[in-house]
Structure 1
Amino acid sequence: MNELSRYKLRCRRGMKELDFVLERYLSNHFPQADAEEIQRFDELLELQDPSLFGIIFQIEPTPEPFQALAAKIRALS
């Protein structure tokens, strides 16, 4: 299983909205992501669904380390 396939599995969440935006990020930005962005994406995927949803959909404040990545993901939704 290649890296992109592993990330596709990790992007399957309990919420369709998250599945949609995370999979769009994978298709549009992940292949060109640098090591730092991939590390941030890993960290973002470690969050529980409610927190991740809150950050992506701007319901709660976005922690500084995730701001640039969250903005990229939001631009695709």
Structure 2
Amino acid sequence: MVSNYEPYERVLEDTVLRLMRTDDVIVIQVISKKRPEEAKVAFYKSVFNNLNAKLNIREEDLLISIVENTSVD
């Protein structure tokens, strides 16, 4: 699913990393079975590299969240 939100409709606070995001921020939420850390890092890099090649985005403007799910869920 894809949803567009105006900047005033988004609240993306980063209280730990102190990132400075712009209004061009992209948020991706993935629901997935548990994966090794290496697979997650490779996924993050792949998504960023592909989006950056097409949209020239900044690393700070990409937020990827993985929600882990099991077959019972």
TM range (shorter): 0.3 to 0.5
More helix by share: 1
TM-score (norm 2): 0.34
Q: Choose 1 or 2 for highest CA Rg.
A: 2
More strand by share: 2
Relative contact order (C-alpha < 8 Å, sep 6+): which is higher? 2
